Structure formats: structure tokens, C-alpha cells
Amino acid sequence: MSTPKARGQYAKGAERREQIIQTATDVFAREGFEGTALKRVAELVGVKEATLFHYFKGKQELLTAVLAERDRRSLAVGGKSEVGLSLMPSIAERNRNEPGLTTLYAVASATANDPGHASHTYFKERYETVVRDVAVDIERRQKAGEVRTDVGAEALARLVVAAFDGLQLQWLYDKSVDMAEGLTQLVEVLLASTHPTE
């Protein structure tokens, strides 16, 4: 049976873990995640860098927690519980303003395809959730006559998500790429109703 002291230590540990995630998300957003970023996180939290990993199994688990926090914040900004077409341009704009997290996402997503990778489950579940949420939004719009119906909602959702990731990757190399505008144009062209109003 756990004692009040043990429960208190667990609560403090959970609180410290959350503090590390929040601080790391902020630092990585501004400064990136390479080099001295972890040292900076430790300084801001008030611990030694090695102490960070008393709360995480390793660096990759911390990075995955940061990416999950990035997703949570993106939805919070839009005041939504799921990703839909109307929210995607604002998420792209947020990503533009957080280049360190956007780079982290691109690097981690490119290396996590191995099922043994610490972030594999996060990315697999994330893609499943985002495609499902966007497909639900598209299907609702199809029923309302706002979106083409000659292509299935899930297929369209996968194309939109692929375009989002592709635009984001291009932006990492060329900051003149406007991700938000590109997504808006895609929605207008790719998803436009095949039965325009007279």
C-alpha cells in the first residue's frame, strides 16, 4: 500500500516531468534541439542535464513528449479537439514561428519508421488520428456539398496530410514557401466541389 509520502513524491515527479516537457518545448521552439539545448532546458528547470533523464528513459522519449506537447498546443490555439481543414493553415503558421520544433518533427518523423524506434508508436498513432480527423471533416463537407465527392474522404485526407508535410519540408529549405497559403490553395483546388454553383 502506498504511503502519503510516496504519493507526494510521485506527484512531485510528475510535476517536474511536466515542467521539463513545457520548458523543452519552449526552448526547442526558439533555439532548436541540437547542441546545448538540453543543457539550457536543465538550467531553466534548475537541475543538472543528467537529471533530466531521471524523468525520461532517454533523449528520444523526451523529444517524443515535446512533439506530443507541440500537437496539444496546436489544437489549443485553434480551440479544437481534432484537426480539420480549417485549422491546418493556422497550424502551418504556428510551425513557421517555431522552426526548432518543426525541424525536430521533420527529423524525428524521417527516422521513426523502424518499429523499434522510441517515437515509432507516436508517429503511427499521430498519422492515424490526423488522417481520421481530416477525413471526418471532409466527409461532413462532402455531405454539405462543399467538397468533391468523386474521391473518398480518407483518400483526400491522406493527400492533404501529405501536402502539409511536403510543404513543411520545402519550407525548411526555403523560407519563402508559404505553408499556410499553400494549404489554403490546395483545399480550394483539390477539394472543390465537382458541381460548381451556377
Measured from the Cβ of residue 142, the count of other Cβ atoms closer than 10 Å reads 19
Pick the range with the lowest mean pLDDT from 6-20, 24-38, 119-133.
6-20
pLDDT at 194: 65
Q: Is the pLDDT of residue 142 over 90?
A: yes
- SS3 of the chain: CCCHHHHHHHHHHHHHHHHHHHHHHHHHHHHCCCCCHHHHHHHHHCCCHHHHHHCCCCHHHHHHHHHHHHHHHHHHHHCCCCCCCCCHHHHHHHHHHCHHHHHHHHHHHHHCCCCCCCCHHHHHHHHHHHHHHHHHHHHHHHHCCCECCCCCHHHHHHHHHHHHHHHHHHHHHCCCCCHHHHHHHHHHHHCECCCCCC
pTM of the model: 0.82
Mean pLDDT of the region 138-147: 92
CATH class name, domain 58-198: mainly alpha
Grid cell locating 82: 481534432
pLDDT at 198: 45
pLDDT at 190: 78
pLDDT at 87: 86
CATH class name, domain 1-55: mainly alpha
Q: Is the pLDDT of residue 177 over 90?
A: yes
* pLDDT tens digits along 25-66: 999 988 888 888 889 999 999 999 989 988 998 888 999 999
* Dist CA 79 CA 75 (whole Å): 6
Residue ranges, comma separated, of all CATH 1.10.357 domains in the chain are: 58-198
Tell me the average pLDDT of the chain: 88
Mean pLDDT of the region 128-149: 94
pLDDT at 5: 55
pLDDT at 164: 94
Residue ranges, comma separated, of all CATH 1.10.10 domains in the chain are: 1-55
* pLDDT tens digits along 69-101: 999 888 876 666 678 888 888 889 989 999 999
Mean pLDDT of the region 155-180: 95
pLDDT at 81: 67
* Dist CA 112 CA 99 (whole Å): 20
Mean pLDDT of the region 148-168: 95
Q: Is the pLDDT of residue 14 over 90?
A: no
